[in-house]
Amino acid sequence: MSAVVYYLATLAVYFIIYNILVWGLNIQFGFTGILNFTYITFMAISAYFTGVTGLGPPNAANQEQYILGLGWHFPFTLLAGTVAAGLLALLVGAIALRRLRSDYLAIVTVALGSVVFDIVGNDVSLFNGQDGISGVNPPLEGVLNLNYNTYMFFFIGLSLVIMLIMWWIASRIYDSPFGRTLRAIREDPDVAEAFGKNTFRYQMIAFVVGCMFAGVAGALTIEFIGSFNPSGWQAGETFVIWAALLLGGRGNNKGAILGALLVPVVFSEATRFLPAIPGHPALIEALRNVVIGFLLIATLWFRPNGILPEQRPPFYQILLRSQLTGKEAQGVVGG
């Protein structure tokens, strides 16, 4: 495989992963209005648990320390990481969503990210501290016995299938009475409460489901690169995901695809080809987020709802349609 083909194949995998990440954040913020500023933390927790359930018990030879070491195989490792992200979201949501809204909830999520980052980075016994975990086997590698070049395209196909499943789930949520209720809560939670909607319950479901999307993305990430450490989930990564959602168009799954293509792939990668400035070889990479920030500001200035904005009906129609189809909504959310 040539270097160019390998580079494009790698971009394809990351585009798929970022699609899933942005769809999950779209369910939380775009559909429901939940401000989660530590979204990348749930992706990281999934990556770690996917890794430690797939690795065997730690031994002195590799000088790594981590919990579990169950030696599971795909897809059970992916499920373990996704469930771990969902359980963390359940814990956080039960504490934060019941009493906090808007800016206060955002502050709590930022604090959560800092706490988890410090614990994981400093407690070596959990996930090997700052060095992280490595040696995670790619999915089905030992079963298929493919060469490296062929396996790369197999992984792209496998990731694409998973992405399409997540697309179906996100689209099903949006088009369902449950999704209309989420959008009504986003517009005005007090009015939604007046219509008999349990806003905490709906927000909790959206928060957990969105974080499980991040969990799927985290599992694919570590199974693709084979390792993971705290440098891979700093605050800047959350900024990139938020930028992709806001640029593409919040509340619109197709806009999320466009944002995932433009911000993490086109904008971030295009800066790699800019010529280095004499005397400042690292300046271009350091300015990458600055460039993304300026592009985001320009987009929101001229198109405040993103490039592909959500086609939103009037607020009263969202509430009325959600209220009139309450029995159908019970079938979506289980009661």
- How many percent of the chain have pLDDT more than 90? 42
66 strand-pairing partners: 127
Of 170, 208, 164, 219, give the one whose Cα is nearest residue 43. 219
Highest mean pLDDT among 60-69, 77-86, 189-198, 307-316: 77-86
Of the pLDDT bands very low, low, confident and very high (cuts 50, 70, 90), residue 99 is confident
Q: Is the pLDDT of residue 329 over 60?
A: no
**DSSP state at residue 325:** T
Structure pTM? 0.88
Contact (CB, 8 A) for 66 and 127: yes
Q: Could you give the CA distance from residue 126 to residue 100 in angstroms, rounded to a whole number?
A: 30
Of 50, 12, 24, 42, give the one whose Cα is nearest residue 220. 50
Averaged pLDDT for residues 66-89: 93
Whole-number pLDDT of residue 53: 94
Averaged pLDDT for residues 93-116: 84
The amino acid sitting at 200 is F
Q: Is the pLDDT of residue 281 over 80?
A: no
Q: Is the pLDDT of residue 67 over 70?
A: yes
Which tokens go with 327? 């029995």
Q: Is the pLDDT of residue 136 over 50?
A: yes
Whole-number pLDDT of residue 82: 97
Of 29, 20, 19, 313, give the one whose Cα is nearest residue 182. 29
Interacting residues of 80 by C-beta distance below 8 A, sequence separation 6+: 49, 50, 53, 72
Query: DSSP alpha helices (H): ranges in the chain?
Result: 3-25, 39-54, 76-96, 102-122, 124-127, 141-144, 148-175, 177-187, 189-194, 199-225, 235-248, 253-260, 268-270, 283-286, 288-302, 315-324, 326-333
Q: Please write the tens of the pLDDT for every residue from 8-28.
A: 899 999 999 999 999 999 999
Whole-number pLDDT of residue 332: 38
Q: Look up tokens 């927790």; give the residue.
A: 45
- How many percent of the chain have pLDDT more than 70? 89
Q: Is the pLDDT of residue 139 over 60?
A: yes
Contact (CB, 8 A) for 209 and 27: yes
Contact (CB, 8 A) for 51 and 133: yes
Q: Is the pLDDT of residue 88 over 90?
A: yes
Whole-number pLDDT of residue 334: 40
The CB density around residue 56, as the number of other CB atoms within 10 Å, is: 12
Of 225, 41, 202, give the one whose Cα is nearest residue 133. 225
Q: Could you give the CA distance from residue 95 to residue 106 in angstroms, rounded to a whole number?
A: 13
Whole-number pLDDT of residue 328: 41
* 136 or 320, greater pLDDT: 136
Contact (CB, 8 A) for 174 and 31: yes
Q: Is the pLDDT of residue 75 over 50?
A: yes
Of 322, 326, 114, 74, give the one whose Cα is nearest residue 233. 114
277 strand-pairing partners: 280
Q: Could you give the CA distance from residue 268 to residue 263 in angstroms, rounded to a whole number?
A: 6
Q: Could you give the CA distance from residue 243 to residue 260 in angstroms, rounded to a whole number?
A: 9
Q: Could you give the CA distance from residue 65 to residue 57 in angstroms, rounded to a whole number?
A: 9
Q: Is the pLDDT of residue 146 over 60?
A: yes
The three-class DSSP label of residue 64 is coil
Whole-number pLDDT of residue 323: 54
Contact (CB, 8 A) for 247 and 109: no
Q: Could you give the CA distance from residue 115 to residue 45 in angstroms, rounded to a whole number?
A: 13
Average pLDDT, the chain: 85
Whole-number pLDDT of residue 102: 67
Q: Please write the tens of the pLDDT for every residue from 152-163.
A: 899 999 999 999
Of 263, 213, 211, give the one whose Cα is nearest residue 237. 263
Q: Is the pLDDT of residue 258 over 50?
A: yes
Q: Please write the tens of the pLDDT for every residue from 199-249.
A: 899 999 999 999 999 999 999 999 999 999 998 888 778 888 998 999 998
Of the pLDDT bands very low, low, confident and very high (cuts 50, 70, 90), residue 324 is very low
